[in-house]
Amino acid sequence: MATKKVYIETVGCQMNVLDSELVVGALRRDGYEITDTTADADVLLFNTCSVREHAEEKVYSALGRVGPLKRARPETVVGVLGCMAQKDQELIRKRAPFVDLVVGTGQLARVPELVEAVRRTRQPQYALSLGRTDAGRHEVEASFVSFDPARDATMRPTPFQAFVRVQIGCDKFCTYCVVPTTRGPEQSRPPEHILAEVRQLVDQGCKEVTLIGQTVNSYEFAHGDGRRTPLSALLAAMHDVPGLDRIKFVTNFPKDMTDDLLAAVRDLPKVMKYLHVPAQSGCDDVLKRMKRLYTAGEYVETLARCRELVPGVAVSSDFIVGFCGETEASFEKTMDLVRAARFKNSFIYKYSERPGTKAAERYPDDVPDGVKKRRNNDLLLVQNANSLADHRAQIGTTVEVLVEGPSKRELGKQTHGPQAAGFGVMQLTGRAMTDHIVVFDGTARLTGRTIRVRVEDASSFTLYGRVPTGEHVGGAAAVAVIPDADEAPAYPSPLDFGPPSEATLPGKRIGLPVV
Ligand code: SF4
């Protein structure tokens, strides 16, 4: 019997990227192979994001493109997974009536079983979790399964890096955000499950784990006997796992940044000295309408505490521009915050009204799109200048880099010859312990290793370095810096952001991102 093939497109944050990895891993255990073309796929899956209208429309366009294929080959199973599925099942049925499978974020573990049900019965299958007000909290929680089965290293862009979910859902209810609806109540996974998963990943060759949760620093597992495990204790336990080199966690809710967590970041050498702490706005009135639960002054205090308790920590942030009622004066306060805060980088997005959110109910989306665009650009200019200053301050230092592989520029070049075989010198990319992207020359055989790189130049996005002469660079002599090469792998943005960006994933093993 011919092997069945699955094609998957992923939009959204790191949580979606992980979900896609797990769904494909489960289907592979059922005998499926991954394909990166729709033409030969038996199952076409779209793992979706509801955080911005743009991301949703991209999915409907993609569905529009597979419509003719489905008509020509009706046995092909077409599925919509994730946030849009949980939020808009009726609309999906209306706009793409040929869809066979609608599976919410909390039911993804059932995808293989549901695909088989479609193939067997030729009937559409729907699997959704309960809405936040459909039942009591316990029942609603139980309808969201965290879905963390055995990990499959071949499903990840690199075998030495992996996301690990420590928490699902969110209870913050920022007024612009759909996540508390689409991903349900906040629930922390038991530490022993997480540690077992990390050990399994290390056995598969994983060296760096990124712990993910919508507000990861509010992670706290109640054991039921009075004991509680906060994120700081989880990090300490994970730090003892032999073979694990690096631990990162995203993303943080400013108000939940505790001193014990910051002390853990400072004191545990394997924990990366990097914190993503989304501010969203520098104006108290806007923050109040967003229901972010802190003022700009409190955010600045949190930032100062991070830097005081973790010397040398790199901090990045998120901002939404053009939120309801954001005046020029409000926006100027955000500009002031970004000017003063010296973030390593910021993810900046234009506000996109989402039906069903409190913001959509309460406040008119009254900032014209042209103004949002201009504010986005203005803020980006300020941030880029700060990023450049932050990066230039690293020139002359030596950083420890986990080598992720050839840079994007290198990947665009020919795939034959000594480079492809891993012997020739090429441009490589990796991340420092502060999460800075570092580009340097070496051989592909360095991929997956941690090496020292001396920083010699910088742009707003990238540090350019050289492996110090005399150190092993995979059989090749250290070579000159190429300062115009501003290429690094594209990454999904962090999670705590009403609008997390569209994910891009290095490599094609779980299909291509749509946006
Ligand atoms: S923006 Fe983040 S903290 Fe706020 S509701 Fe959404 S996921 Fe939760």
Tens of pLDDT, residue by residue over 126-158, are 999 999 999 999 999 999 988 777 787 777 888
Q: Quick check: 514 pLDDT over 60? A: no
| Closest ligand 1 atom to 498 CA | 1
Q: What percent of the chain has pLDDT over 70?
A: 89
Q: What are φ and ψ of residue 297, in 5° steps?
A: -65, -40
- Pocket of ligand 1, candidates 175, 215, 352, 495: which has the most ligand atoms within 8 Å of its Cβ, to mutate? 215
Distance of CA 389 from the midpoint of ligand 1 (Å): 30
Decide if 256 contacts 218 (C-beta within 8 A). yes
Domain residue extents for the chain: 4-140
The pLDDT, as a whole number, for residue 455 is 98
Distance of CA 224 from the midpoint of ligand 1 (Å): 27
The pLDDT, as a whole number, for residue 134 is 93
Q: Is the CB of 172 under 6 A from ligand 1?
A: yes
Residue nearest to atom 6 of ligand 1 (CA): 177
Distance of CA 174 from the midpoint of ligand 1 (Å): 5
Q: Is the CB of 215 under 6 A from ligand 1?
A: yes
- Pocket of ligand 1, candidates 177, 250, 286, 493: which has the most ligand atoms within 8 Å of its Cβ, to mutate? 177
Distance of CA 179 from the midpoint of ligand 1 (Å): 6
Beta carbons within 8 Å of 46's beta carbon, 6+ residues apart: 8, 9, 11, 59, 62, 63, 79, 80, 81, 514
The pLDDT, as a whole number, for residue 498 is 35
337 closest CA partner among 319, 310, 322: 319
Burial, 497: exposed, middle or buried (Cβ in 10 Å; 0-12, 13-18, 19+)? buried
Distance of CA 52 from the midpoint of ligand 1 (Å): 14
The pLDDT, as a whole number, for residue 416 is 55
**Extended strands (E) in 91-243:** 101-103, 125-127, 161-165, 167-168, 187-188, 208-212, 220-222, 228-230
Decide if 162 contacts 151 (C-beta within 8 A). yes
Distance of CA 19 from the midpoint of ligand 1 (Å): 18
Beta carbons within 8 Å of 159's beta carbon, 6+ residues apart: 153, 204, 205, 206, 448
- Pocket of ligand 1, candidates 51, 179, 252, 257: which has the most ligand atoms within 8 Å of its Cβ, to mutate? 179
Tokens coding 226: 């009075």
Say how many Å lie between the first and final Cα of the chain, rounded. Answer: 35
Q: Is the CB of 18 under 6 A from ligand 1?
A: no
Decide if 319 contacts 333 (C-beta within 8 A). no
Confidence class for position 422, pLDDT limits 50, 70, 90: low
User: What pTM, to 2 d.p., does this model score?
Assistant: 0.89
Average pLDDT over residues 259-279: 98
DSSP assigned state of 465: E
**What does the alpha-carbon distance between residue 451 and residue 341 come to, in Å, rounded to a whole number?**
30
Tell me the β-bridge partners of 164. 211
Q: Is the CB of 186 under 6 A from ligand 1?
A: no
The pLDDT, as a whole number, for residue 319 is 98
Q: Is the CB of 331 under 6 A from ligand 1?
A: no
Residue nearest to atom 3 of ligand 1 (CA): 172
Any alpha helices (H) in 204-344, and if so which ranges?
A: 231-239, 259-267, 284-290, 296-309, 328-341
Tokens coding 387: 């990023």
Any alpha helices (H) in 8-133, and if so which ranges?
A: 14-29, 53-72, 83-87, 89-95, 111-121
The pLDDT, as a whole number, for residue 417 is 56
> pLDDT digits over 48-91, tens only?
999 888 889 999 999 999 999 999 999 999 999 999 999 999 99
Average pLDDT over residues 317-342: 98
Distance of CA 216 from the midpoint of ligand 1 (Å): 11
Q: Is the CB of 253 under 6 A from ligand 1?
A: yes
Between 193-207, 272-286, 349-363, 470-484, the lowest mean confidence (pLDDT) is in 470-484
Query: Taking the CB of residue 471, how many other CB atoms lie within 10 A of it?
Result: 13
Owner of token pair 């316990």:
138
Average pLDDT over residues 313-324: 98
Q: Name the pairing type of β-strands 187-188 and 125-127.
A: unpaired
Any alpha helices (H) in 319-475, and if so which ranges?
A: 328-341, 358-362, 369-392, 408-411, 417-421
Owner of token pair 């549901």:
114
Distance of CA 445 from the midpoint of ligand 1 (Å): 40
| Closest ligand 1 atom to 170 CA | 8
Q: Is the CB of 173 under 6 A from ligand 1?
A: yes
Q: What are φ and ψ of residue 125, in 5° steps?
A: -125, 140
How many residues are recorded in the chain? 515
The pLDDT, as a whole number, for residue 508 is 30
Q: Is the CB of 180 under 6 A from ligand 1?
A: yes
The pLDDT, as a whole number, for residue 379 is 98
Q: Quick check: 28 pLDDT over 60? A: yes
Confidence class for position 413, pLDDT limits 50, 70, 90: confident
Q: Quick check: 474 pLDDT over 60? A: no
Distance of CA 55 from the midpoint of ligand 1 (Å): 17
Q: What are φ and ψ of residue 398, in 5° steps?
A: -115, 130
Domain 4-140, second-level architecture: 3-Layer(aba) Sandwich (3.40)
Decide if 147 contacts 390 (C-beta within 8 A). no
- Pocket of ligand 1, candidates 16, 173, 287: which has the most ligand atoms within 8 Å of its Cβ, to mutate? 173
Q: Is the CB of 176 under 6 A from ligand 1?
A: no
DSSP assigned state of 170: -
Handedness of CA 308, 314, 315, 321 (dihedral sign): positive
**What does the alpha-carbon distance between residue 226 and residue 439 come to, in Å, rounded to a whole number?**
48
Distance of CA 507 from the midpoint of ligand 1 (Å): 29
Owner of token pair 């459909």:
134
**What does the alpha-carbon distance between residue 257 and residue 293 come to, in Å, rounded to a whole number?**
13
More confident residue, 471 or 500: 471
Query: Taking the CB of residue 277, how many other CB atoms lie within 10 A of it?
Result: 23
Distance of CA 325 from the midpoint of ligand 1 (Å): 20
170 closest CA partner among 275, 288, 293: 293
Distance of CA 175 from the midpoint of ligand 1 (Å): 9
Distance of CA 172 from the midpoint of ligand 1 (Å): 6
Q: Quick check: 509 pLDDT over 50? A: no
**What does the alpha-carbon distance between residue 87 and residue 40 come to, in Å, rounded to a whole number?**
30
Q: Is the CB of 174 under 6 A from ligand 1?
A: yes
